[in-house]
C-alpha cells in the first residue's frame, strides 16, 4: 500500500465515534466533516458541522434502516460550495432533517436540495443571494421552516413551488432583503403557513392582495417597509393574531383597510404617520382569544394629537362582552407614547377590555382627567415627559391594582392629599424631574412586599412623612435636590425604610439632632456628593443596623472619637474623594464588622492601621490615587501576607509592574527608604548594600577601638620612661 493511500486510509477510514457515526473511506480526499465536529445528541440524533461540502459521513445501520426512534440529523456547512459533485454521499443527504448553508452565492440553483427529501428546517441566512433559479424547494415535501433572511432577493414571483399540495411549510422568513413588489400569487401554494416575515424590505404596494390564500396565518411581519395603505390586503386572514406594521408610512387605519383588526392580539403600527386614533383601533373581539390573552395595541411614534371618546357602538360591545357567560380573561396593553397628544377625552378608554398597561409618555398632555372606572385593572401607568401640573382623585380613585406609576419630567409642584387614597399596591412611584420644593405629607401606600419612591431632581428642601403615611416604603430616592438642612427631612416614623439616597444635595454638617431617620430598619445610607465638612460624635449612633454608609465626594478632612459610634453592623464605608490627608484607625474602632473601606483619591500621606491589628474579618482598604509611601505599603502587605493582620491594602484597578508598585498598588518611593520587592521586602541588591554598610561600620568601629588601644599603649610606655 502506497504511503499516500495509507495517509488517506487512516484519515478517512470509517471509525465508530461515541455516537457510532461512521466516517466513510470511499472518498480518497481530505474529509470535509471533521470527527470532532460530529456530535451525538441522543440515540439517532446527530449534530454535524462540515466545511465546503458534505462528504465522508454515514449513519450507523440501526439509524439508517427501519427504526422506531425518530432520526434527526442537523447539519451546518460553513463556506459551502454552490453545487455538489458525484462524490457526495446521496444516501446520507437523504437523512438530513435540518440544514444550514453559509456561503456567498449571488446566483444559485441549490442543487443539493434535490437529494434532501426529508428536510424539515432549511436556513440560508446571510448568503448574499440575489437570484434563486429553477424550483429548488420542489421536492421538499417535509419542509416546515424556511429562512431566507439577510440576502439580496428581489424577485420571489415563482420561488415557492412544491410537489405536494398542500405542503407542510409553516414558517417563512424573508426579512432584510430587497423585495419591492409581492405578486398576488407569490404565496399561492403556502396555505399551511402560520408565520410570514417580510420585514425590512422595500415593499410599498399590496394591491394584489398576496396573502389571500394564507388562511391559517397567525403572525405577519411587514414592519420597516414603505407601505402607505393596506388596501384590504390582510382582510381575508381571519385567524391572524399578530400584525407588525412598525416603521412604514401608513396614514390611515379603518375597518375597510383592516377588517380583522378586532381579532388581533398584537397590533403594532408604531412609527408611522397616523394623525388620528379611531375607535376601531382600540376595540377587540373575544371569540378568537384564549383564556388570559394579552392584547398589545402599539401606536407610539405617530402624529396623533388627540384621543377621542369611545363610540357608543364600541362601548355597548364591551358591556355585552362582560355579560357573556363564556367570558374569557382578556387583558389589554396600550402604548400611545412619542406622539403629540395634548387632549384626552374623559371616556377615551371606555371601549378597552381590562386595560392593564397604558403608556402616554413623551406627549404634550396637560390634564389627565379620565374616567377612573375604565382604568380599574391598570397595573402600569406611564405619564412621564408631559406638562402635567395637577393630579385628579377621580382619575386614580378606581386604580386599586396600580403598581408602577411614572410621573417623571412633568410640572408637578405638590401632591393633593386625597389623590392616591384608594391605591394600596404601589411598587414603584417615579416623580423625578418635577418642581416639588416641599412635601409635608405623602398619602401613598405601597405593596405588601414593599415599594420604591423616587423624588430626585425636584428642588426639594423639606420632606415630612408623618406617622401612618408611606406605609411599606422600602426605598426612598432623594438625590439631586436642594436639601441643605437635614433636620427638615423627617423620616423617623417610617419604620420599614431600608434604603435612603441623599446624594447630590447641599448638606454641610451632620450631628445627632439632624438625622431623623428610622433606627431599626435602615441598612443603606448614601450621603455622597454633598458639602459635608464636619461630622459630630454620635451622629450615627442610633443607626445600629446600617450596613453601607457612603460619604464620598465631600469636604471631610478629619474625624473625632465617636464619629462612627453605634455602627457596629457596618460592612462598607466609603470615604473616597474627600480631603483626608491622614487617617488614624483609632477613630474607626467602633466598626467591628467592617469589610470594605475606601479612601481613594484623598491625597493621603499616611494611614495608620495599628488599631485594626486584632480585626476579626478580612478588611479590604482601597487606596487608589493617594500619596502613600512604598515603605508603609510594604510593611502593611508583609503583615497581611504573614498573617499578622487581616487588613489588606488594594486598588480597584491594579497598576502594571514597575519600580513604584507593590502587588499592583502604586506607591511613592522615598530616596531615604530601602527599595521593596513586590512582596514588600527589600530587594537582594539593597539587602547586600545594607549588609556591606553594616560591615564597614563595624570595621570602622573596630579600627577606632584599635587606634584607641594603640594610643593608650604608647602613652603608658612614655610614662614609664
456 Cβ contact list (under 8 Å, min separation 6): 432, 477, 478, 479, 480, 481, 501
Domain assignment of residue 462, yes or no: no
Tell whether the model's pLDDT for residue 340 goes beyond 60: yes
* Among 557, 502, 553, residue whose Cα is nearest residue 531: 553
Q: What is the mean pLDDT of residues 396-406?
A: 95
pLDDT tens digits, one per residue of 496-510: 999 999 999 999 999
pLDDT given at position 146: 98
Pairing of strands 195-197, 219-221: parallel
Q: What is the mean pLDDT of residues 672-676?
A: 50
HEC readout, 489-515: EECCCCCCCCEEECCCCCCCEECCCCC
Tell whether the model's pLDDT for residue 91 goes beyond 90: no
Instruction: Using CB atoms within 10 Å of the CB of residue 680, give its burial: 0 to 12 exposed, 13 to 18 middle, 19+ buried.
Output: buried
User: Is the CB of residue 158 less than 8 Å from the CB of residue 134?
Assistant: no
pLDDT tens digits, one per residue of 28-77: 344 578 888 888 888 889 999 999 888 878 888 888 765 667 889 999 99
List beta partners, residue 344.
307
> pLDDT category, 711, cuts 50, 70, 90?
low
pLDDT given at position 3: 40
Q: What is the mean pLDDT of residues 604-616?
A: 85
User: Is the CB of residue 218 less than 8 Å from the CB of residue 193?
Assistant: no
Q: What is the mean pLDDT of residues 431-443?
A: 94
Work out the angle at residue 458's Cα, subtended by the Cα atoms of residues 457 and 463, and round it to the nearest 5 degrees. Answer: 115
Q: How far apart are CA 561 and CA 102, in angstroms?
A: 71
pLDDT given at position 576: 97
φ, ψ of residue 226 to 5 degrees: the values are -125, 35
Q: What is the mean pLDDT of residues 265-285?
A: 90
The three cell numbers of residue 716 are 603608658
Q: What is the mean pLDDT of residues 686-709?
A: 52
Give the torsion through C-alpha atoms of 286, 292, 294, 295, to 10 deg.
Answer: 0
Q: What is the mean pLDDT of residues 95-113?
A: 92
Which of 90-94, 126-130, 237-241 has the weakest average pLDDT?
90-94
List beta partners, residue 572.
548, 596
pLDDT given at position 269: 97
Q: How far apart are CA 343 and CA 191, in angstroms?
A: 45
Q: What is the mean pLDDT of residues 654-675?
A: 72
pTM summary value: 0.83
The three cell numbers of residue 233 are 390586503
How many domains, the chain? Answer: 2
DSSP assignment of 262-320 equals GG-SEEE--SS------HHHH----TTPPTTEEEEEE--SS---EEPPPPHHHHHHHHH
Tell whether the model's pLDDT for residue 683 goes beyond 70: no
Tell whether the model's pLDDT for residue 442 goes beyond 70: yes
> pLDDT category, 22, cuts 50, 70, 90?
very low
Domain assignment of residue 154, yes or no: no
HEC readout, 17-50: CCCCCEECCCCCCCCCCCHHHEEEEECCEEEEEE
Q: How far apart are CA 583 and CA 187, in angstroms?
A: 78
pLDDT tens digits, one per residue of 248-264: 999 999 888 888 888 89
415 Cβ contact list (under 8 Å, min separation 6): 391, 431, 436, 439, 442, 443
In the chain, the percentage of residues whose pLDDT exceeds 90 is 60
Q: How far apart are CA 373 and CA 352, in angstroms?
A: 11
pLDDT given at position 29: 42
Domain assignment of residue 146, yes or no: no
Q: How far apart are CA 403 and CA 378, in angstroms?
A: 8
pLDDT given at position 149: 98
Which of 55-59, 63-67, 624-628, 635-639 has the weakest average pLDDT?
63-67
DSSP assignment of 400-424 equals TT--EEE--SS------TTTTTT--
Last residue of some domain: 60, 78, 103? Answer: 103
C-alpha separations of 522 from 69, 440, 510, 525, 547 in Å: 61, 21, 17, 7, 8
Domain assignment of residue 4, yes or no: yes
List beta partners, residue 331.
294
pLDDT given at position 714: 59
Q: How far apart are CA 33 and CA 56, in angstroms?
A: 7
Domain assignment of residue 565, yes or no: no
pLDDT given at position 712: 62
- 513-517: long-range pairs with CB below 8 Å, 24+: 513/487, 514/485, 514/486, 514/487, 515/486, 515/539, 515/540, 515/542, 515/543, 516/486, 516/487, 516/489, 516/490, 516/491, 516/492, 517/491, 517/492, 517/542, 517/543
215 Cβ contact list (under 8 Å, min separation 6): 191, 236, 237, 238, 239
Domain assignment of residue 71, yes or no: yes
pLDDT given at position 233: 92
Last residue of some domain: 69, 103, 137? Answer: 103
Q: What is the mean pLDDT of residues 424-434?
A: 96
Task: Give 566's DSSP letter.
Answer: T
Domain assignment of residue 615, yes or no: no
User: Is the CB of residue 134 less than 8 Å from the CB of residue 112?
Assistant: no
Last residue of some domain: 76, 103, 130? Answer: 103
User: Is the CB of residue 42 less than 8 Å from the CB of residue 78?
Assistant: no
Tell whether the model's pLDDT for residue 686 goes beyond 60: no
pLDDT given at position 679: 44
> pLDDT category, 199, cuts 50, 70, 90?
very high
Domain assignment of residue 620, yes or no: no
Cis omega (within 30 of 0) on the bond before 166? yes
Half-sphere exposure of residue 376: CA atoms within 13 angstroms, side-chain side: 6
User: Is the CB of residue 199 less than 8 Å from the CB of residue 173?
Assistant: no
Q: How far apart are CA 301 and CA 247, in angstroms?
A: 9
> pLDDT category, 322, cuts 50, 70, 90?
low
Task: Give 562's DSSP letter.
Answer: T
pLDDT given at position 313: 58
HEC readout, 49-103: EEECCCCCEECCHHHHCCCCCCCEEEEEEECCCCCCCCCCCHHHHCCCCEEEEEC
Q: Phi-psi category of 511—alpha, beta or left, where left has phi over 0 and alpha has psi -120 to 50?
A: beta
pLDDT given at position 616: 85
pLDDT tens digits, one per residue of 351-396: 888 899 999 999 999 999 999 999 999 999 999 999 999 999 999 9
* Among 580, 588, 625, 586, residue whose Cα is nearest residue 606: 580
Which contiguous run of DSSP H or E holds residue 665? strand 665-666
pLDDT given at position 596: 97
Tell whether the model's pLDDT for residue 287 goes beyond 70: no
Q: Which residue range(s) make up the domain with 700?
A: 691-721
Amino acid at each position: 500500500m502506497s504511503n499516500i493511500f495509507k495517509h488517506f486510509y487512516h484519515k478517512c477510514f470509517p471509525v465508530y465515534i461515541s455516537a457510532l457515526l461512521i466516517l466513510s473511506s470511499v472518498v480518497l480526499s481530505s474529509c470535509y466533516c471533521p470527527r470532532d465536529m460530529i456530535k451525538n445528541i441522543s440515540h439517532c440524533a446527530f449534530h454535524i458541522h462540515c466545511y465546503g461540502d458534505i462528504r465522508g459521513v454515514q449513519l450507523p445501520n440501526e439509524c439508517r434502516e427501519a427504526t422506531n426512534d425518530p432520526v434527526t440529523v442537523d447539519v451546518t456547512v460553513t463556506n459551502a460550495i454552490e453545487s455538489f459533485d458525484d462524490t457526495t454521499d446521496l444516501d446520507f443527504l437523504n437523512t438530513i432533517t435540518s440544514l444550514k448553508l453559509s456561503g456567498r452565492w449571488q446566483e444559485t440553483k441549490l442543487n443539493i436540495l434535490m437529494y434532501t427529501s426529508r428536510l424539515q428546517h432549511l436556513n440560508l441566512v446571510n448568503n448574499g443571494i440575489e437570484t434563486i433559479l429553477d424550483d429548488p424547494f420542489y421536492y421538499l415535501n417535509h419542509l416546515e421552516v424556511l429562512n431566507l433572511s439577510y440576502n439580496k432577493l428581489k424577485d420571489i414571483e415563482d420561488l415557492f413551488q412544491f410537489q405536494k399540495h398542500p405542503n407542510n411549510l409553516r414558517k417563512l422568513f424573508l426579512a432584510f432583503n430587497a423585495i419591492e413588489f409581492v405578486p398576488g400569487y407569490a404565496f399561492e401554494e403556502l396555505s399551511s403557513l402560520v408565520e410570514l416575515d417580510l420585514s425590512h424590505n422595500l415593499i410599498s404596494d399590496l394591491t394584489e392582495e398576496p396573502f389571500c390564500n394564507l388562511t391559517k396565518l397567525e403572525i405577519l411581519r411587514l414592519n420597516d417597509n414603505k407601505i402607505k395603505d393596506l388596501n384590504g390586503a390582510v382582510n381575508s386572514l381571519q385567524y391572524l393574531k399578530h400584525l407588525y406594521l412598525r416603521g412604514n408610512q401608513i396614514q390611515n387605519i379603518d375597518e375597510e383597510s383592516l377588517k380583522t383588526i378586532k381579532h388581533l392580539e398584537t397590533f403594532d403600527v408604531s412609527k408611522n404617520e397616523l394623525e388620528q386614533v379611531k375607535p376601531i383601533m382600540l376595540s377587540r373581539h373575544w371569540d378568537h382569544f384564549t383564556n388570559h390573552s394579552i392584547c398589545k395595541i402599539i401606536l407610539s411614534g405617530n402624529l396623533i394629537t388627540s384621543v377621542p371618546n369611545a363610540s357608543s357602538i364600541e362601548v355597548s360591545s364591551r358591556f355585552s362582552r362582560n355579560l357573556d357567560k363564556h367570558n374569557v380573561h382578556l387583558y389589554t396593553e396600550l402604548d400611545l407614547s412619542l406622539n403629540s397628544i395634548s387632549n384626552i377625552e374623559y371616556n377615551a378608554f371606555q371601549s378597552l377590555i381590562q386595560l392593564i398597561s397604558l403608556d402616554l409618555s413623551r406627549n404634550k398632555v396637560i390634564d389627565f382627567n379620565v374616567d377612573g372606572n375604565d382604568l380599574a385593572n391598570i397595573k402600569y401607568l406611564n405619564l412621564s415627559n408631559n406638562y402635567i401640573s395637577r393630579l385628579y382623585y377621580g382619575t386614580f380613585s378606581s386604580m386599586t391594582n396600580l403598581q408602577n406609576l411614572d410621573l417623571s419630567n412633568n410640572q408637578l409642584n405638590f401632591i393633593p392629599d386625597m389623590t392616591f387614597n384608594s391605591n394600596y399596591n404601589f411598587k414603584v412611584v417615579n416623580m423625578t424631574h418635577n418642581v416639588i420644593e416641599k412635601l409635608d405629607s405623602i398619602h401613598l401606600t405601597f405593596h405588601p412586599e414593599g415599594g420604591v419612591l423616587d423624588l430626585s431632581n425636584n428642588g426639594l428642601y423639606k420632606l415630612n412623612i408623618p406617622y401612618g403615611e408611606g406605609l411599606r416604603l422600602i426605598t426612598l430616592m432623594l438625590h439631586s435636590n436642594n436639601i441643605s438642612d437635614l433636620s427638615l427631612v423627617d423620616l423617623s416614623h417610617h419604620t420599614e425604610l431600608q434604603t435612603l439616597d441623599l446624594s447630590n444635595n447641599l448638606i454641610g454638617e451632620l450631628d445627632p439632632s439632624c438625622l431623623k431617620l428610622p433606627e431599626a430598619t435602615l441598612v443603606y445610607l448614601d450621603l455622597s456628593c454633598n458639602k459635608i465638612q464636619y461630622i459630630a460624635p454620635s451622629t450615627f449612633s442610633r443607626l445600629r443596623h446600617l450596613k453601607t454608609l457612603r460619604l464620598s465626594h465631600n469636604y471631610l478632612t478629619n474625624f473625632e472619637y465617636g464619629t462612627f459610634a453605634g455602627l457596629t453592623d457596618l460592612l462598607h464605608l466609603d470615604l473616597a474623594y474627600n480631603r483626608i490627608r491622614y487617617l488614624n484607625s483609632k477613630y474607626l474602632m467602633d466598626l467591628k464588622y467592617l469589610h470594605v473601606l475606601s479612601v481613594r483619591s484623598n491625597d493621603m500621606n499616611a494611614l495608620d492601621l495599628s488599631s485594626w491589628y486584632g480585626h476579626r474579618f478580612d478588611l479590604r482598604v482601597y487606596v487608589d490615587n493617594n500619596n502613600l509611601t512604598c515603605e508603609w505599603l510594604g510593611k502593611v502587605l508583609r503583615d497581611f501576607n504573614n498573617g499578622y493582620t487581616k487588613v489588606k491594602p488594594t486598588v480597584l484597578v491594579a497598576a502594571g509592574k514597575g519600580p513604584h508598585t507593590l502587588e499592583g498598588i502604586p506607591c511613592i518611593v522615598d530616596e531615604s527608604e530601602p527599595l521593596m520587592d513586590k512582596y514588600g521586602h527589600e530587594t537582594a541588591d539593597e539587602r547586600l548594600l545594607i549588609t556591606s554598610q553594616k560591615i564597614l561600620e563595624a570595621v570602622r568601629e573596630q579600627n577606632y577601638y584599635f587606634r584607641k588601644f594603640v594610643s593608650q599603649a604608647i602613652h603608658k610606655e612614655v610614662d614609664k620612661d
